[in-house]
Amino acid sequence: MKYLGLAYFTPEKFDAMAPEAVKALISQCSPLDEKMRATGKMLVSASLGDLEHWRTLRPQGGKTRVSDGPYTESKEIVGGLFIIEADSREEALRIASMHPAATLGEEGGWAVELIPLDFYLVP
């Protein structure tokens, strides 16, 4: 089964961190990312771009309306994503727990949401 991991952060908390603290936090991410890759189960891993460049597309009046994003009205914002393939939910949780947002960054409001995928298309 494939799982989508969404890595969240809280912009206000992250922005309130001292630059040195952000740098120290970010420096710990690569080893954790490598640990996830080493499982051989990670299919995709990505960091998302700055919020100012996000756009939301939604149907309206038979046309597609484009507006500034993000669409969600939440204190937490998705900052990254990953897709893993696991043999069980327990294995997926074990692998997802290696992600930096599940291990580090409490002061920046980091978190990971793990979602089973019902449909996955590879072109």
pTM of the predicted model as reported, rounded to 2 decimal places: 0.84
User: What is the tens place of the pLDDT at every residue in 72-119?
Assistant: 666 788 889 999 999 999 999 999 999 999 988 888 889 999 999 998
Instruction: Classify residue 123 by burial, with Cβ atoms within 10 Å: 0-12, 13-18, 19+.
Output: exposed
What integer pLDDT is reported at residue 32 of this predicted model? 92
Asked whether the beta carbons of 48 and 79 are under 8 A apart, the reply is: yes
What integer pLDDT is reported at residue 114 of this predicted model? 95
User: Per the structure block, which two tokens stand in for 21?
Assistant: 């603290």
User: What is the tens place of the pLDDT at every residue in 7-46?
Assistant: 998 888 988 999 999 999 999 999 999 999 999 999 999 9
What integer pLDDT is reported at residue 51 of this predicted model? 79
